[in-house]
Amino acid sequence: MSALPFVEQLAVAYRAAAGGLPGAKTPAVAARRDAALEAFRRLGLPNHKLESWKFTGLNALERQNWSLPANDGGVDAARLKAAALTADSHRLVFINGRFDAAVSKIGDLPQGVMLLPLSQAGDAVQDALVAAGNDRAISLSELNAALASDGVVLLLADGVQLDRPVEILNFGTPALVNLRHLIRLGRNAQATVVESYRDGGVAQPGWSNVFAHVAVGEGARLTHIRLQGENPAAYHAALGRVSIGAGAHYAHVSVQAGAALARHELHVAFAGGNATADIQGLVLARGKAHLDHTLFLHHAVPECRSNQLFKHVVDDEGHAVFQGGIRVAPHAQKTDAQQLSRTLLLADRAQIDTKPELEILADDVKCSHGASIGDVDAQQMFYMQTRGIPAHEARRLLLSGFAHEVVSAVPEGALRDHVESFVEAWLAEKGVAA
């Protein structure tokens, strides 16, 4: 226990590190960072009194002594190989919250593409910190704005198509790591981004605090995959802000597979008509993992379509949380917003809290949500057993089938294979409780 209160520890860490953070020499950035720190000090960590944090508490964070990561050590080759995409990608690896050029590789980029680590992004740092994501009311994103040490800046000009996926790989470290991403697609641009947060192999708790600002231009298409599987002692809090232009398509798949506590909060807003958001999540919780997806889908304009599918497999003493808010603004007619949450509880002390929320202020809309919670279907189990399949195997097959619906949302090919093996590895890791 430190003598200093938690928030003040971080303030001290900020003052020590500020001079070396990206954009430190740009007055607007420095001012933004100072203001962000003040906002965080004022707000503190979110707590249960906030409706959106009803089911997830961060008290445990306050009981630890947090420092910013030292710049030493790397990731071992086997770990990197296991986590990386086999297919060709533009890979940016982050270790200790910093871009590691030695193990990264950014290939040839077409005209009109900027892809850089934040720490080397020059003027774009100002974009990522000042222009994008001013969340004065959200303390974790303010903390991130103050302390962001690196991240990815991906900017695509109008009409540009980036064929190879952009791969963002972060390995956990026993410290507080703040990554900040800025992803902006111009009109009719196309890209695929895979964010991966992996176990760095150190058992002491680490805390990753990630912020992503995503803007999908008119008619653009972004496939955004997020794989989060860190050390069972790790904390992970991510906040994404996505705006989708007219006629654009945003496809998001988020897999959470390990941490002491992980929360992925995603705010998606439609900025123009006839746009689509397909958002799918898969939560794999075991041990004492507390895994939270919190979504806000804001249908601010007419004639957009959103679809959310979230599946949870909760074993041991795992605790899954799903909050899915859909808001249809007045006059956002012809909105089609669907949401479905399904949960399998596999153990006596496993639990799920779910709150699907509809706020509908326009009448000509198609909105629905559904939630179901239960154990693996006994009849299906029995059927498979009568065909000679042992119980644990039958169970694994059923779970794999349950997860498949989300996995299959990933575009077919190497990318899907990658996500699938990530999921299958979790299922195989320990005989899932029978």
* Stretch 364-423 residues interacting with another protein (CB under 8 A): 364-375
**Nearer to another protein (CB atom), residue 56 or residue 149:** 56
CB of 297 to another protein, least distance (A): 14
Q: Where are the beta strands (DSSP E) in 300-403?
A: 305-314, 319-328, 336-345, 351-360, 366-374
Instruction: Name residue 359's amino acid.
Output: E
Contact between 354 and another protein by CB under 8 A: the answer reads yes
Region from 57-65, 139-147, 183-191, 355-363 binding another protein, contact rule CB under 8 A = 355-363
- For residue 372, the number of C-alpha atoms closer than 13 Å in the C-beta half-sphere is 8
* Stretch 263-292 residues interacting with another protein (CB under 8 A): none
Contact between 51 and another protein by CB under 8 A: the answer reads yes
* Stretch 331-350 residues interacting with another protein (CB under 8 A): 331, 333, 343, 345-350
Q: Which of 351, 350, 292, 291 is nearest to 324 (CA)?
A: 292
Tokens (6 digits) for 51: 């409706």
Contact between 351 and another protein by CB under 8 A: the answer reads yes
CB of 368 to another protein, least distance (A): 4
**Nearer to another protein (CB atom), residue 114 or residue 398:** 398
Contact between 432 and another protein by CB under 8 A: the answer reads no
**Nearer to another protein (CB atom), residue 369 or residue 404:** 369
CB of 365 to another protein, least distance (A): 6
Contact 36, 23 (CB under 8 A): no
Region from 80-88, 100-108, 177-185, 325-333 binding another protein, contact rule CB under 8 A = 325-333
Contact 129, 145 (CB under 8 A): yes
* Stretch 17-36 residues interacting with another protein (CB under 8 A): none
Rounded Cα gap, residues 146 and 286, in angstroms: 33
Q: How far is CA 89 from the centre of its chain?
A: 20
Which of 28, 31, 361, 428 lies at the binding interface for another protein (CB under 8 A)? 361
Which of 62, 135, 303, 353 lies at the binding interface for another protein (CB under 8 A)? 353
Contact 372, 401 (CB under 8 A): no
Residues in the interface with another protein (CB under 8 A) total 37
**Nearer to another protein (CB atom), residue 90 or residue 299:** 299
Report CA torsion sign: 136, 138, 139, 142.
Answer: negative
Which of 13, 43, 114, 360 lies at the binding interface for another protein (CB under 8 A)? 360
**Nearer to another protein (CB atom), residue 128 or residue 432:** 432
CB of 310 to another protein, least distance (A): 13
Rounded Cα gap, residues 139 and 49, in angstroms: 14
Contact between 430 and another protein by CB under 8 A: the answer reads no
CB of 285 to another protein, least distance (A): 13
Query: Dihedrals φ, ψ of 426, to 5°?
Result: -65, -45
Rounded Cα gap, residues 268 and 35, in angstroms: 25
Tokens (6 digits) for 107: 């290939």
CA angle 253, 134, 221 (to 5 degrees): 35
Tokens (6 digits) for 432: 């899932």
Q: Which of 263, 201, 266, 209 is nearest to 230 (CA)?
A: 201
Contact between 352 and another protein by CB under 8 A: the answer reads yes
Q: Which of 169, 142, 282, 221 is nearest to 411 (CA)?
A: 221
**Nearer to another protein (CB atom), residue 8 or residue 377:** 377
Instruction: Name residue 119's amino acid.
Output: S
**Nearer to another protein (CB atom), residue 115 or residue 328:** 328
Instruction: Name residue 118's amino acid.
Output: L
**Nearer to another protein (CB atom), residue 215 or residue 352:** 352
Rounded Cα gap, residues 152 and 147, in angstroms: 15
Q: Which of 95, 226, 202, 207 is nearest to 143 (CA)?
A: 207
**Nearer to another protein (CB atom), residue 35 or residue 329:** 329
Contact between 304 and another protein by CB under 8 A: the answer reads no
**Nearer to another protein (CB atom), residue 9 or residue 351:** 351
Region from 9-17, 150-158, 202-210, 363-371 binding another protein, contact rule CB under 8 A = 363-371
Contacts with another protein, residue ranges (CB under 8 A):
51, 55, 330-331, 333, 343, 345-375
